[in-house]
């Protein structure tokens, strides 16, 4: 009897460099989704509720995070620049459709792992 492996099993059977490449390929797709959404929205603004300040989202941040992670760097203070929008997502001050939330977090997590 043949036992079928799940995608997760196949992924974890890869060596670390192969897993890294898979992460980047999947996040490239996430960036494509982010780009379509961000371009359709134009400037994305939200009100940060703790202090009440108006924030304008840096739509290039995911692209810069991806590039920085690819190079294994924390170029341009990316970690610091992510603080406000990630907090806003947690506080629901910044709201995206579910697929865009996943795409945004995917690139953020890629950066956290490889940047």
For 32-84, how does the pLDDT look when each residue is reduced to its tens digit (9 = 90+)? 999 999 999 999 999 999 889 999 999 999 999 999 999 988 777 999 999 99
For 2-31, how does the pLDDT look when each residue is reduced to its tens digit (9 = 90+)? 667 899 999 999 999 999 999 999 999 999
Number of domains in the chain: 1
- 13 part of a folded domain: no
DSSP state string for 47-74: E-TTT--EEE--TTHHHHHHHHHHHT--
Q: Would you state the pLDDT for residue 32?
A: 98
| Chain centroid, CA 15 distance in Å | 23
- 5 part of a folded domain: no
- 81 part of a folded domain: yes
Q: Which residue segment(s) compose the domain that 51 sits in? A: 29-114
Q: Is the pLDDT of residue 95 over 80?
A: yes
Q: Would you state the pLDDT for residue 99?
A: 97
Question: Are 22 and 14 contacting, i.e. CB atoms less than 8 angstroms apart?
Answer: yes
Q: Would you state the pLDDT for residue 2?
A: 67
- 9 part of a folded domain: no
- 11 part of a folded domain: no
- Rounded to 10 deg, the angle between the 61-71 and 98-114 helix axes is 30
114: nearest Cα among 68, 58, 53, 45: 68
- 89 part of a folded domain: yes
- 8 part of a folded domain: no
- 51 part of a folded domain: yes
Helix (H, G, I), strand (E, B) or coil at 111: helix
């Amino acid at each position: 009897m043949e036992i079928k492996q799940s995608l997760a099993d196949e992924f974890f059977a890869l060596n670390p460099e192969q897993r890294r490449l898979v992460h980047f390929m999947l996040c490239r797709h996430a960036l494509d989704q982010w780009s379509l959404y961000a371009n359709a929205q134009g400037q994305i603004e939200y009100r940060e509720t703790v202090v009440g300040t108006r924030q304008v989202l840096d739509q290039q941040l995911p692209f810069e995070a991806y590039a920085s992670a690819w190079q294994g760097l924390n170029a341009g203070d990316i970690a610091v620049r992510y603080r406000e929008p990630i907090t806003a997502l947690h506080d629901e001050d910044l709201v995206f459709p579910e697929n865009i939330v996943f795409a945004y977090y995917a690139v953020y997590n890629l950066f956290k792992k490889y940047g």
